[in-house]
């Protein structure tokens, strides 16, 4: 029982840390995109740096266990890792950066909220996960509140082409999350992160070379791609640690508070202002996230 409670508390902490990372990423990637002339290039460099940083983390904290654990990975687990890389850090990142050319960091974080119900639906179908009615209620409240955080008024906002790209990216991430949950019970969190970034790096580099037929531009990078890669590396590792302990659906419910942190950083860094409705909706998101944790713990 003590071990179960310990895992639950650790899972909650990892999930909240992950939500903070995602909130920061919403601003960092927007700034990076503004300073980059090519979304394909920035997306690829971000993932490559994620692979580099996750490798450094693995060597510092896990060392020989990483190679030892990779040697024990079964074929079915490698298959799951492959799809995690393609969907969650390949197609997701690519379409997300394409969308950021025409959308805001807040909307990018908001669209990731779609990932949660989409993942929950897929988890119910393929992983047989179930949620209580109370849990689903707060789930829906957070989705609606985050929408108002982004839009700032009681209307249905028309979607731009960039917004559609970001929504598509969120659906790809939902697919990747299912494979992450499948793999995490057989593959250590750090190994899953390394495999994910390795596959995604190959996919995005091949995409760049196919589109531009010149790989020399890949070695020209800026500060924001390095920062983006570092935060994504940390975010994915702690995400894997969270779903290992509390499951994919509950973890993603907590991650839906990420847009609030993005909003705060946009106010501080980008000097973006928000109205009373957006601030009130942000408070609702935070309180609902706390209630989710409280009811889940019961």
Distance CA 126, CA 120 (A): 10
CA–CA dist 291, 20 (Å, integer): 18
- Nearest CA to 239 out of 79, 61, 17 is that of 17
Query: What integer pLDDT is reported at residue 71 of this predicted model?
Result: 81
Residue 99 is predicted with a pLDDT of 76
Distances (CA, A) of 9 to 36, 181, 198: 40, 19, 30
Please give the C-alpha separations between residue 29 and each of 24, 97, 241, 243, 266, in angstroms, as whole numbers. 9, 8, 23, 24, 12
Q: Which residues contact 18 (CB under 8 A, 6 or more apart)?
A: 235, 238, 239, 242, 251, 254, 255
Nearest to 289 by CA among 23, 68, 26, 2: 23
Q: List the pLDDT tens digit at each of the 298 positions of the chain.
A: 666 788 888 999 999 999 999 889 888 887 887 777 677 788 888 999 999 999 999 988 877 678 788 888 898 999 999 999 999 999 988 887 777 666 655 555 566 667 777 787 788 788 777 767 777 787 788 777 777 766 677 666 666 677 778 788 888 999 999 999 999 989 999 999 999 999 999 999 888 777 665 555 666 678 889 999 999 999 999 999 999 998 887 888 788 778 778 878 888 887 877 788 878 887 887 787 777 666 655 5
Helix axis angle, 39-61 to 2-34, nearest 10°: 150
Nearest of 243, 200, 187, 210 to residue 49 by alpha carbon: 200
Q: Tell me how far apart the alpha carbons of residues 288 and 141 are, in angstroms, rounded to a whole number.
A: 7
Q: What are phi and psi of 62, to 5 degrees?
A: -120, -30
What is the pLDDT at residue 111?
64
Rounded Cα gap, residues 19 and 240, in angstroms: 13
Give me the pLDDT at residue 83, please: 96
Q: Measuring CA to CA, which residue among 208, 192, 219, 223 is closest to residue 51?
A: 192
Q: What is the Cα–Cα distance from 142 to 23, expressed in whole angstroms?
A: 15
Rounded CA-CA distance 83/25 in Å is 23
Closest CA to 225 of 100, 50, 106: 50
């Amino acid at each position: 029982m003590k071990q179960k409670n310990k895992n639950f508390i650790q899972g909650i902490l990892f999930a909240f840390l992950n939500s903070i990372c995602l909130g920061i990423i919403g601003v960092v990637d927007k700034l990076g995109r503004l300073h980059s002339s090519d979304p394909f290039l920035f997306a690829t460099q971000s993932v490559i740096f994620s692979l580099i940083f996750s490798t450094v983390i693995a060597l510092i904290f896990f060392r020989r266990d990483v190679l030892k654990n990779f040697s024990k990975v079964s074929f079915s687990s490698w298959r799951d890792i492959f799809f995690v890389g393609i969907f969650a850090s390949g197609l997701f990142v690519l379409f997300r950066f394409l969308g950021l050319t025409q959308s805001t960091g807040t909307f990018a974080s908001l669209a990731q909220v779609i990932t949660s119900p989409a993942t929950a639906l897929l988890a119910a179908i393929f992983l047989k996960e179930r949620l209580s009615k109370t849990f689903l209620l707060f789930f829906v409240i957070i989705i609606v509140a985050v929408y108002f955080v982004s839009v700032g008024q009681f209307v249905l906002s028309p979607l731009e082409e960039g917004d559609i790209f970001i929504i598509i990216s969120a659906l790809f991430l939902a697919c990747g999350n299912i494979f992450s949950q499948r793999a995490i019970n057989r593959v250590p969190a750090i190994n899953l992160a390394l495999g994910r970034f390795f596959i995604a790096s190959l996919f995005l580099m091949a995409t760049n070379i196919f589109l531009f037929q010149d790989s020399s531009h890949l070695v020209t990078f800026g500060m924001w791609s390095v920062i983006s890669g570092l935060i994504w590396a940390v975010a994915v590792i702690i995400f894997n640690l969270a779903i290992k302990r509390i499951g994919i659906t509950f973890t993603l419910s907590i991650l839906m508070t990420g847009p609030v942190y993005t909003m705060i950083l946009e106010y501080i860094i980008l000097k973006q202002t928000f109205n009373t409705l957006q601030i009130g909706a942000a408070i609702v998101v935070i309180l609902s996230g706390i209630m989710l944790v409280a009811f889940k713990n019961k």
